[in-house]
Amino acid sequence: MPRPHEDLAHHTLVDHRRGGPPVAFPVGAWCAIEVAHVAPDRIDAGLAAYETLVEKARSTFAAGAAAVVRSVDRRRVVTLLVLDGHEGFRRLEAAWGDRRLEAEHLSVAESSTRGLYKLVASTGAGAIDPGSRDAYAFERVADGPQFSARLLAALTPATGFRGALVFGSDDGTASAIFYRFEHFGEVDVVRASPAVLDVLPSADASFAMMHPVKTFG
């Protein structure tokens, strides 16, 4: 049973029980997105580590809403945290650079990438909700978000589609996409359809079905 964990450096309680409110992200918001690859038997430790890192940021500076999600295959943890642009990202790097927290992070992540992104487009019910039974998916593509309007137009009429978020990286070289559908089977069918594949810059091995685990409103 997950229990609260005390961050001894700042005396804050991090409650690792699953849940949290539905979290919506406004278009134009700056967000840090980190993707960590973990061993399946370390997924719970990975989730706990990133929940601790989110609370560290939220207690140290004005970080906003956040979500921690995991892949269905228990191999990936994706963390999304609203920040105040470039200055907020600089503060995040400093907050997460604490030696003890960094050591805890490195002990569970086989590899990780972190970047600053802006939400450039959204449609439908794009909120991340741990209490929902909807199916989520996440991927990154190696191109800027110029395709976002065409992607959302292709997704909107699809069976089971509920919403999507499209983020563009700060340097314009990559995009991150959160999908939300009613059922996981619909995600597979739609993501592999010609209407969607013709829009995306390239197929990406980062595509994965996801479960929201913890949100911070």
Per-residue model confidence as pLDDT tens digits over 71-120: 999 999 999 999 999 999 999 988 887 655 565 666 778 888 999 999 99
Q: 173 near 102, Cβ under 8 Å?
A: no
Q: Which bin fits 215, alpha (ψ -120 to 50), beta or left (φ > 0)?
A: beta
Read off the DSSP letter of residue 183.
S
- All domains of the chain in start order, with CATH: 29-116 (3.30.70.100), 118-211 (3.30.70.100)
DSSP bridge pairs for 216: 66
Give percent above pLDDT 70 in the chain. Answer: 86
User: How far apart are alpha carbons 108 and 72 in whole angstroms?
Assistant: 18
Per DSSP, the three-state class of 39 is coil
Predicted local distance difference test score (pLDDT) of residue 8: 34
Phi then psi dihedrals of residue 144, to 5 deg = -65, 170
DSSP state of 170: T
Provide the whole-model pTM.
0.88
Report in angstroms the alpha-carbon separations of 162 from 56, 73, 92, 122, 196.
Answer: 32, 22, 31, 11, 15
Task: Give the tens place of pLDDT for each residue, 204-213.
Answer: 678 999 999 9
